[in-house]
């Protein structure tokens, strides 16, 4: 079951006019919210990032936080299994094709839910391969925009190279992955690029930094140079669905000793404990 403009319906029955600006221009924003045991994780933070994205494209939020929560919970109830990944997107709506904002139209609001697939035991034990390349995206990567063509092309580069993710560098510094945030470990310190216009402010990124602080793991939020990226003892990838995933190779060379390292093990354990404690309280 999906949600479209106020109604819940089977996916097959959902219809969007071809002049929707999401289809024509990619003129919209989205969110992906992980749901554990039917409880949306960090919902407030996802909704506030959604507001930031809407502000970034100058589109009014069609719903209050309470209305979003009610609709998301209903969608989760209507779907299986217990752990889901809720995708929501808002586009500027349907209008005759013209770049400038149309007046007096309603936005299109769409939500769907898929089973949440988190990293397998094998992935957590072996880690994933990555490649690196220049970040050729625009300068508003903090907006979670549906126009993802650069990210699509960048991620496909990884797939073509038999890797799981493409790590992006801009002007000699790490930004993020094509669809994830990236952390490096150097001299036992967790290094995180600062949240600015060059990366998406990940909800998982924030959780990981909070967890590092709570377990006494040294962490620095600052620019991470190309050199630090390539000489890191560990690299980690984070996202709402990938949670905390160890990266064990970069451009065909092992990261550290080529195995998931101690910082990953600590953060992964902390993440799982935290997730379950939040769900129990919910």
Residue 217: Cβ within 10 Å count: 19
Nearest residue (CB) to ligand PMP, 93 versus 173: 173
Q: How far is the CB of 150 from ligand PMP (least distance, A)?
A: 10
Instruction: Choose the binding region for ligand PMP from 74-82, 116-124, 173-181, 190-198 (rule: CB under 6 A).
Output: 173-181
Contact of 45 with 206, CB cutoff 8 Å: yes
Q: How far is the CB of 202 from ligand PMP (least distance, A)?
A: 3
- Regarding 91 and contact with ligand PMP (CB under 6 A), the answer is no
Q: How far is the CB of 13 from ligand PMP (least distance, A)?
A: 28
Angle between helical axes of 262-281 and 203-214 (0-180°, round to 10) = 100
Q: How far is the CB of 158 from ligand PMP (least distance, A)?
A: 13
For ligand PMP (CB under 6 A), the number of binding residues is 14
Instruction: Report whether the peptide linkage leading into residue 81 is cis, meaning its omega lies within 30 degrees of zero.
Output: yes
Nearest residue (CB) to ligand PMP, 130 versus 181: 181
Nearest residue (CB) to ligand PMP, 130 versus 240: 240
Query: Which residues, in sequence order, are bridge partners of residue 108?
Result: 91
What's the longest Cα–Cα distance across the chain? Answer: 59
C-alpha distances out from residue 11 to 59, 79, 150, Å: 26, 12, 27
Residue 82: Cβ within 10 Å count: 13
Contact of 240 with 34, CB cutoff 8 Å: yes
Q: What is the dihedral of CA 77, 78, 79, 83, to 10 degrees?
A: -10
Near ligand PMP in 32-71, by CB under 6 A: 32
Nearest residue (CB) to ligand PMP, 32 versus 235: 32
Binding map of ligand PMP across residues 185-204, x = CB under 6 A, - = no contact: ---------------x-xxx
Q: Where in the sequence numbering do the catalytic residues fall?
A: 144
- Regarding 240 and contact with ligand PMP (CB under 6 A), the answer is yes
- Regarding 179 and contact with ligand PMP (CB under 6 A), the answer is yes
Which one, of 173, 186, 239, lies nearest residue 208 by Cα?
239
Contact of 142 with 52, CB cutoff 8 Å: yes
- Regarding 180 and contact with ligand PMP (CB under 6 A), the answer is yes
Q: How far is the CB of 6 from ligand PMP (least distance, A)?
A: 26
Residue ranges binding ligand PMP (CB under 6 A) = 32, 151, 176, 179-181, 200, 202-205, 238-240
């Amino acid at each position: 079951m999906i949600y479209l403009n106020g109604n819940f319906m089977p996916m097959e029955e959902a219809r969007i006019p071809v002049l929707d600006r999401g289809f024509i221009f990619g003129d919209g924003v989205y969110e992906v919210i992980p749901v554990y045991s039917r409880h949306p994780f960090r919902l407030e933070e996802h909704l506030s990032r959604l507001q930031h994205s809407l502000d970034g494209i100058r589109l009014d939020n069609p719903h209050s936080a309470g209305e979003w929560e009610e609709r998301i919970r209903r969608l989760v109830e209507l779907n299986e299994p217990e752990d889901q990944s809720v995708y929501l997107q808002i586009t500027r709506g349907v209008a005759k094709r013209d770049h400038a904002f149309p007046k007096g139209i309603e936005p299109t609001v769409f939500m769907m839910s898929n089973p949440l697939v988190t990293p397998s035991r094998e992935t957590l034990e072996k880690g994933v391969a990555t490649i690196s390349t220049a970040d050729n995206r625009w300068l508003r990567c903090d907006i979670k925009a549906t126009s993802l063509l650069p990210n699509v092309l960048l991620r496909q580069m990884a797939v073509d190279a038999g890797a799981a993710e493409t790590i992006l560098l801009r002007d000699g510094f790490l930004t993020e992955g094509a669809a994830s945030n990236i952390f490096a470990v150097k001299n036992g310190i967790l290094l995180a690029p600062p949240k600015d216009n060059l990366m998406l402010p990940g909800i998982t990124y924030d959780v990981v930094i909070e967890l590092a602080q709570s377990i006494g793991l040294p962490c620095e939020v600052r620019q991470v140079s190309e050199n630090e990226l390539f000489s890191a003892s560990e690299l980690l990838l984070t996202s709402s669905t990938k949670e905390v995933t160890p990266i064990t190779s970069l451009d065909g060379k092992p990261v550290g000793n080529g195995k998931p390292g101690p910082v990953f093990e600590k953060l992964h354990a902390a993440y799982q404990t935290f997730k379950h404690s939040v769900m129990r309280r919910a």
